[in-house]
Structure 1
Amino acid sequence: MTLRAVHNFSTDLGQALLRRARSDCDPFLRRAIGSIREPLATMAGYHRGWWNAHGSMSEGSSGKALRAALVLAAAGACDGDTSAATPVAAAVELVHDFTLLHDDVMDRDSTRRGRPTVWSVWGIDSAILLGDALHAAAIRALTQLRDPSVAVEAIMRLETACRDMCIGQFEDCRSEGRPDVTIDDYLRIAAGKTAALTACCCALGALSANADRATLAALEQFGYELGLAFQVVDDLIGIWGDPAVTGKPVGNDLGRRKSSLPVVAALNSRTGAAVELGALYQTTVAMTQSDIDRAAALVEVAGGRQAAQQYADTRIQNAIGALPDGVRSEDLVALAQLACRREH
């Protein structure tokens, strides 16, 4: 099989796993969201692309379901019954949606998945409260797992990840506009805001399959490395992504002077482009579109784009290398490669 054929096989398998995760989780998600009082339930269904703002059926995107797919793939790699892991995968999706709703408010992003964000339709207060309600729904779903000991540990792990995400997001917001952020600073932030949840997903899949502690730890490490790579790719998409593919506007990260990895790497390059970029980042004047375009060009000239891509490649190799032979399944490898080969 040629390298191109291997790549195409991996991509096709990854996409099939995402479709299966969306299909398997859908009934659980609909029940969980249906238990939320109106009008929050309508907002939640709108966010997931099930209907429009008036509650009429529509064909919107419900997201990739990567995190849910990781839960199911991890359970399958441990020879577990993936049907037992499906409620856990759905709970993870609810938590992910809660973070997206709050992120959109903090970043003032007006579009997600190619349609207006919840806060831009119903207001900031409603979006925040909906996020809180989805978080509560996720935990409620885990309390209904058949094995009480698994339920308690799953809740503990997911809530620990939520705590870490909040801390990471706080530090990310605090780093905006700072030209002195180091790579180590960035890694600490990314570990909280992204890697914590992907690591948790893989651990929860192993937990659902009653895997031993060594296997659970290995899958957790796989998810952690994958999460770091995923965040770096997200940073690249935030600057050079195609809105027609991503469903999100491009340039917002630069406009907010966020310390994404391409920017941090560029600022630490000590080049002439880094000096000019640093000056753009230190001013408090709102960036124009021309400023954003110039900043993107400076990041690339200073080597930030290349450095970030190399870093993502290294982390994905670390992720796959963390998997013991017994659980290095095609499904997990395909999802890892798909997550870090998104359009940008």
Structure 2
Amino acid sequence: MNSLKSLYTDVREVLENSIPDYWSALRSLLSNFLQEPMAPEAMLPLASCQAVGGTPKDAIHISAALLTFGACLRILDELEDRDRPGQLWEQVGAARAWNSAAAINVLCFQILSKAPFEPQVFKRINQAFLDACWRISAGQDRDLGGMTKNIEDYWLTIEMKTGAASAMACATGAMAGTDDPNLINACAVFGHHLGLAVQILNDMESIWQPDGITDLQQGKVTLPLLYGLQFDHPKRQELVALVEANEVAANVERIKGILDAIDTRSFLIWAALKEREQALEAIKVCPNAEGKEILESYITGMFGDIDFFSKC
């Protein structure tokens, strides 16, 4: 993994060199996203490229574009949630934050356009980024529109949001290293299940180890609450009544107590581990052992504090 992390300097250089010289404010903003340690998702295209037998350096522009895309999504999430102090929209105002997010999204494709890919490879990678943008936006619209009413709705929403983003990160890295559709698909499937596992753990963290305003405090219905709504238990109707009356935010501690009583965290951990299992199975076909090991370590490392969650 250290050999791939040595490429982070090149990733940072590509990103910084793509920012227009006349927009110092944008450069300053993005510098916050480029601080050490670099966002872990920068590793995904590099490791996927290596796992399929390619040269990781060929995926540098993809990593830079992915980081830029991630910065755009983070700003948009902050604008929509407004759940923590010190966010960009508080510093520069909502209008400038929206403008920055739009510009950073353009920058993502500017970076891709500068990559030294063969035309057919660039076309595949660029299209994969575009497809992911559409799916993520559609998934976010489902979330914002309150279309997640049951667990089936939830899976569709997170598949279109987190699953699509991680699948794209891994698939495009693989595209830089091979034209074998089976290997590219293997990395895409890995990324898909990785994204679902990330979302499940994030939903759990928001309730039991929150950083800022929790999902429950915002009245959001995510997987932990959906589990309580659909699982047959003595307090199910009470939860249903609270959700239907839009009283989730006013009854956070009561809801947490019910979710604890039905051992919701054990279900969430089981669900996330099942996603990890499917992700690891998908990349068994990849030929490069070192790249594959890095991907395996990436998704396994996410579960380092599972014992904490199961006990707190």
Q: TM-score, normalised by structure 1?
A: 0.81
Return closer, same or farther for 1:89/1:284 CA change in 2, 3 Å cut-off.
same
- CA distance in 2 between partners of 1:67 and 1:210 (Å): 20
Q: TM-score, normalised by structure 2?
A: 0.88
* 1:41 Cα offset (Å): 2.9
Return closer, same or farther for 1:24/1:203 CA change in 2, 3 Å cut-off.
same
Instruction: Say which of 2, 13, 16 aligns to 1:27.
Output: 13
- CA distance in 1 between partners of 2:123 and 2:24 (Å): 29
* 1:18 Cα offset (Å): 8.4
1:160 aligns with 2:146: no
Instruction: Say which of 274, 294, 300 aligns to 1:331.
Output: 294
Aligned residue pairs, count: 303
* 1:342 Cα offset (Å): 5.4
- CA distance in 2 between partners of 1:66 and 1:108 (Å): 23
- CA distance in 1 between partners of 2:207 and 2:228 (Å): 13
* 1:216 Cα offset (Å): 0.6
1:91 aligns with 2:61: no
* 1:20 Cα offset (Å): 4.6
* 1:24 Cα offset (Å): 4.1
Task: Determine the structure 2 residue equivalent to 1:271.
Answer: 233
- CA distance in 2 between partners of 1:311 and 1:33 (Å): 40
C-alpha contact 1:236 1:262 (8 A) present in aligned 2 = yes
- CA distance in 2 between partners of 1:19 and 1:215 (Å): 23
CA deviation vs aligned residue, 1:194-224 (integer Å, no higher than 9, x gap): 0001001111111011241111111111111
* 1:34 Cα offset (Å): 5.2
Please tell me the root mean square deviation across aligned C-alpha atoms, in Å: 2.4
* 1:70 Cα offset (Å): 0.9
Within a 5 Å distance, the mapping from 1:145-294 to structure 2 comes to 145-146=115-116, 147-175=118-146, 181-241=149-209, 248-249=211-212, 251-284=213-246, 287-288=249-250, 291-294=251-254
Which residue identity is paired with 1:316? R
Return closer, same or farther for 1:297/1:49 CA change in 2, 3 Å cut-off.
farther
Task: Determine the structure 2 residue equivalent to 1:3.
Answer: none
Task: Determine the structure 1 residue equivalent to 2:260.
Answer: 300
Q: Which runs of 5+ in 2 are unaligned?
A: none
Task: Determine the structure 2 residue equivalent to 1:315.
Answer: 275
* 1:299 Cα offset (Å): 2.0
- CA distance in 2 between partners of 1:103 and 1:74 (Å): 27
Fraction of identical pairs, as percent: 24
Return closer, same or farther for 1:185/1:80 CA change in 2, 3 Å cut-off.
same
Return closer, same or farther for 1:263/1:82 CA change in 2, 3 Å cut-off.
same
- CA distance in 1 between partners of 2:240 and 2:153 (Å): 17
* 1:49 Cα offset (Å): 6.3
